Copies of this chain bind each other. A is one copy, B any other.
Amino acid sequence: MKWLKVATDEIVAGIKRSIEGLNLKDVERMIELMLEARDKKIFIVGMGRSGFVGRAFALRLMNLGFNVYFLGETITPAAGEGDLVIAISGTGTTKIVLTASAAAKEIGATVIAVTSFPESPLGKGADHVVVLVGRTKMGWPKEKDYLARQLIGEWEPLTPLGSIFENNCMVFLDGLIVELMHKLGRTEENLKRRHATIE
């Protein structure tokens, strides 16, 4: 059971590093864009595990009273000018996310990218980027590579594929929810009133 401990330590360290590494001005701008979109629609886009993290975020935004939808689910309506798309992809290269993001731009929606790579196609095409570090499927972020591998005494990474990014993203977006709660003056009781009662 050594690896469970080593891996979760690594994940926790990754989360801390990613939160400390946030450019708070970019986060502030993301929050502004979200608050401005309150009488518009917000669409969350992501594939695979980034998509599950995106859905967990969408659920809390729904609890907060936003008109929010997850792309690909049944009742996703038309996006239009002034709507907001939040696209999540560690590598910034996930093709279906890029397609959705480009379609959103054409329609006149604003696209926020949450990614580790601002120079990725997703980052470059977005109106606003929040950089969240994290080793992703593309490889370890350079500065972390050597140290981390030294630390764990082997070259095989502890946290396979995009796992580090996805955990970082889950915690970052849950932190954002609390920030939004306070900005909106919402209490937990408000959220509970909107939470699923049939499940």
A residues with a Cβ closer than 8 A to B are 1, 3-8, 11-12, 15-16, 19, 24, 27-28, 43, 45, 47-49, 52-53, 55-56, 58-60, 62-63, 68-80, 85, 94-96, 98-100, 103-104, 107, 137, 156-161, 163, 166-167, 170-172, 174-179, 181-182, 187-188, 191-199
Contact = CB atoms under 8 A, between A and B. Distances in A.
Contacts of A161: 60, 63, 188, 191-192, 195
Task: List the 3 shortest-distance A-B pairs measured between CB atoms, nearest first.
Answer: A7-B178, A8-B175, A52-B52
Given A73-B73, A75-B69, A7 B56 contact: no
B63 A193 contact: no
B107 A197 contact: yes
A79 to B, nearest CB: 5
How many copies, total?
4
A188 to B, nearest CB: 5
A159 B192 CA distance: 12
A4 to B, nearest CB: 4
A167 B171 contact: yes
